[in-house]
Structure 1
């Protein structure tokens, strides 16, 4: 299989040096995996061009007593302590959370607040099967509506989960982080605030004169934290740009791949927002190194009926630059 033939959303690639195999994790799609159910599947490749048919590595239906069986969004797999840990976001619309009081924006929308959050599962193999560690609740605080948890390890070796706090609960979506126990089994202490979506100064720059200004929601989505050689931290993240002028001159919105920098190297920041790396309804990207040490980024595009797109990336200090689109690998389009 090749990327144009591979349905995938929120792609995450693990480059396993032992086997020189790329593992591309995404939500289970029964049309290609042949397995029904909410969960995670993985494609494998040795060259990022030709991929094996996916195999399922996690199913919610196989997790005894799990608190939610819907979602399966944004799976990530991280090596830690000699094992592999899967993070993926689940939700249960029947478990309603209380609507918080109005914030600075008021509540101009009918908010939908229900349990949503990232779970942690573990396996001895990149091919699973993964078993949820705590089936009773999501890993972040369960009273928060969160998604897209990712692993960050600070210079002292302390693991954290960084996640997006849903605009559905905050109106102005935020990025937050919370410490994890050494075995990733539970959280420690309270979350810390990193930044909010509206901190992206460029979000409203393209609104043409005469077009009504759209107030929030402002969306936070898809964090991935990356250590830069100069000691700073980079965070890829995505949002939804409203009232932007498209390449064809029309006015609309779209998914956007952007990033922020903590020059201090501290997860607490302060975080400085940078201009988008990609527009064109592209997003939920992550950085990885190929086996010949080329820094690359994978994203999905478009948001609906998504396919994977690959880019060579250059890191200068803590500035990211898109070098070229790898149409030789992702088939163009």
Structure 2
């Protein structure tokens, strides 16, 4: 019996989806205590759905075993810097000061930043924008329509919210290997209302800092690139600042983790052993209403085969560790 493609029909949300039914890339779960509901966000594109333009899909659940949706909570509007047909990557929703903020990477492939031979590979406008809503169910409205939040001359992606110990909000994002070959992680301060940047970006670390990546490298005449993807930041119960991030090894996508030695964004950052291999990554942590820490990733990388996989995690004083795959939640 064929599996129902839960993301293809956005006009008729339905109940009873299992995670195995839902094509998902860059999954993000918001545990919303006010209504005891989990909200799962993922990309929606005309290529895989009936949407006329790119947007963000949401599914909701009270059990994590059965999901209702999809609901369209955002579409790329006319008059924005981004092209409505060129993609919505890595959507995530954060509750902040009584509002809900969608961070989503948008694109405009027609807006060329630099082209060969000036650069080794064509660069186009790509970066994370922020939209706001009164509810985790949207609809979300862009705060800044003329450009992404990071510098528009940078090719960036996967921006996330981080609030430092002084209460200052930041966007932490990935700087594309397409532009700089060795992808990096950077952070830019935000205005209090998250409407736009409020200062210059700072460098955190580069993808090639991971020893497990360099251990596999062999001399070659081919360009050597290092992918930086999917940053998410957390405080452990011991007060350590850690970052989940993803890249590639010889077998495919990898979910890994880094730790700041200073406990601040400025680091220095030390690279820990990866958490999940098997072409899995772009993960984030959320907590169940019963208090269990879970990691959600997508696996395999390529759509439309990609599905969400959930792992139960142990929180140690200075890191997180995978306990087991939660096959009971996959369906």
TM-score, reference length from structure 2: 0.89
Whole-angstrom distance in 1 between the partners of 2:277 and 2:178: 23
Following superposition, the deviation at residue 98 of structure 1 comes to 2.3
Counterpart for residue 249 of structure 1: none
**Alignment check: 8 A CA contact 2:128 2:149 kept:** yes
Whole-angstrom distance in 1 between the partners of 2:122 and 2:175: 13
Counterpart for residue 24 of structure 2: 8
Counterpart for residue 323 of structure 1: 323
**Alignment check: 8 A CA contact 1:33 1:56 kept:** no
**Alignment check: 8 A CA contact 2:237 2:316 kept:** no
Q: Among 76, 90, 93, which residue is 2:92 paired with?
A: 76
Distance 1:100 1:81, change over 3 A: farther
Following superposition, the deviation at residue 204 of structure 1 comes to 3.2
Whole-angstrom distance in 1 between the partners of 2:190 and 2:79: 22
**Alignment check: 8 A CA contact 1:151 1:159 kept:** yes
Q: Does 1:218 align with 2:218?
A: no
Whole-angstrom distance in 2 between the partners of 1:213 and 1:153: 43
Counterpart for residue 149 of structure 1: 159
Following superposition, the deviation at residue 262 of structure 1 comes to 0.6
Counterpart for residue 299 of structure 1: 297
Counterpart for residue 166 of structure 1: 176
Listed as ranges, the matches of 1:210-289 within 5 Å are 216-241=224-249, 244=250, 253-289=251-287
Counterpart for residue 189 of structure 2: 179
Whole-angstrom distance in 1 between the partners of 2:262 and 2:146: 37
Following superposition, the deviation at residue 54 of structure 1 comes to 1.0
**Alignment check: 8 A CA contact 1:175 1:193 kept:** yes
**Alignment check: 8 A CA contact 1:32 1:54 kept:** no
Whole-angstrom distance in 2 between the partners of 1:35 and 1:99: 31
Q: Among 66, 81, 86, which residue is 1:50 paired with?
A: 66
RMSD (Å) for aligned C-alpha atoms: 2.0
Gaps of 5+ in 2: 1-16
Following superposition, the deviation at residue 31 of structure 1 comes to 8.5
The 3-state SS of whatever aligns with 2:34 is coil
Following superposition, the deviation at residue 20 of structure 1 comes to 0.8
**Alignment check: 8 A CA contact 1:33 1:41 kept:** no
Q: Render the CA deviation track for 1:206-229: whole Å, top value 9, x for unaligned.
A: 468xx8596521000000001112
Runs of 4+ with >6 A deviation? none
Whole-angstrom distance in 2 between the partners of 1:99 and 1:320: 42
Counterpart for residue 81 of structure 2: 67
Whole-angstrom distance in 1 between the partners of 2:98 and 2:298: 30
Q: Does 1:111 align with 2:111?
A: no
Whole-angstrom distance in 1 between the partners of 2:173 and 2:116: 19
Q: How many residues align?
A: 311
Counterpart for residue 202 of structure 1: 212
Whole-angstrom distance in 2 between the partners of 1:36 and 1:327: 34
Q: Render the CA deviation track for 1:133-189: whole Å, top value 9, x for unaligned.
A: 111100111110000000000011100000000001111000000000000001111
The 3-state SS of whatever aligns with 1:169 is helix
Distance 1:35 1:125, change over 3 A: same
Following superposition, the deviation at residue 36 of structure 1 comes to 3.1
TM-score, reference length from structure 1: 0.89
